[in-house]
Structure 1
Amino acid sequence: MKIKLITIGKTDRQEIKALQDLYTQRLERYVNFVELNIPDLKNTRKLTEAQQKDKEGTLILKELQPGDKLVLLDENGKMFTSVGFSDYLQKEMNSGLKQLVFVIGGPYGFSEEVYRKAQGKISLSKMTFSHQMIRIFFIEQLYRGFTILKNEPYHHR
């Protein structure tokens, strides 16, 4: 199974990017992982929140392949423990799924069309984090999930 993380907007802090790269590099030992960054929209001052979400949604959906499972990182999604998330990953791998696609939306969330296409929602916390920080948290949890599945000492049970 391949895992793709789609994000909106770039990471502009080098410290954050360095941590993101560290966990991405570690994760690649376990799974084919790709991050796809969709650049921030230009001239958004003239757009309503709904228009911005629709434009971002179109760009997100354009990146999906037939058979992909789309899961949104959303504040109203299901919450997991780290062990529970590793079980979720194992279940998806066992299902024969070709590609699992997670998406971190833009500043206003997701369009209605993206919500309709999604096959799941996951929340990492009831707190709100910056879109740059959530990337690190999510990639680290993917890495942690795979180390749990491999019974490696990174996650102490």
Structure 2
Amino acid sequence: MKIILLSVGKINDAAYCNLINAYAKKIVHYIPFEMEIVPDIKNTKNLSEKDQRIFEGNQIRKTLQPNDYIVLLDEKGKQFSSPEFARFIEKKGLMGLKRLVFVVGGPYGFSEEVYGRANEKVSLSKMTFTHEMVRLVFIEQLYRAMTILNNEPYHHE
């Protein structure tokens, strides 16, 4: 199984990029992993929030493959402890999935079409985070899940 983190918009802050890339390099020692970016929309001042969600949703859907298992990182999703998230990843691996795709939406969330395409929703917290923070928290938790599943000492209970 390959895990993909699909996000809308690039990160301009070098500190976030460095941290995210450091975790990504660690994750690939355990499981195939890559990050994909859907470009930001330019000149959004004339677009409504709904129109932005639709445009971003179309871009997201273009990158997906027909058999992808889609998990939206969404505030209305299921919350896990770190060990529970590790078991969630483990179960997806046992399902024989080729690609497990976690999606970070744009500033206004996901279009109805993306919600309709999703298999599940996961929430990282009841709090709201910037998109940069979501990527960093998610990728750290994915690394933590890999160490939990491999009985390594990174996570302490």
Q: TM-score range by the shorter chain?
A: over 0.9
Per-residue deviation, residues 102-122 of structure 1 (Å, max 9, x unmatched): 000000000000001100000
CA distance in 2, matches of 1:123, 1:41: 25
1:112 maps onto 2:112 in alignment: yes
1:69 equivalent in structure 2:
69
Paired residue secondary structure (1:153): coil
Aligned residue for 1:106, secondary structure, equals coil
RMSD: 0.6
Q: Tell me, in whole angstroms, the C-alpha distance in 2 between the residues paired with 1:52 and 1:35.
A: 22
TM-aligned CA deviation for residue 30 of structure 1: 0.6
Structure 1 length normalisation: TM-score? 0.99
**Partner residue of 1:16?**
16
Provide the C-alpha distance between the structure 2 equivalents of 1:65 and 1:30, rounded to a whole number of angstroms. Answer: 23
Q: Which runs of 5+ in 1 are unaligned?
A: none
Opposite residue 37 of structure 1, the aligned amino acid is I
- 2:47 corresponds to: 47
Q: Which runs of 4+ in 1 moved over 4 A?
A: none
Aligned residues: 157
Residue aligning to 2:140: 140
| Residue aligned with 2:122, SS | strand
For 2:16 and 2:68, the matched residues in 1 are separated by: 28
Displacement of 1:10: 1.0
Q: Which runs of 5+ in 2 are unaligned?
A: none
Instruction: State, as a whole percentage, how many aligned pairs show the same letter.
Output: 53
Return the TM-score normalized by structure 2: 0.99
Give the whole-Å Cα distance in 2 for the aligned partners of 1:104 and 1:51.
17
Distance 1:102 1:16 in 2: 19
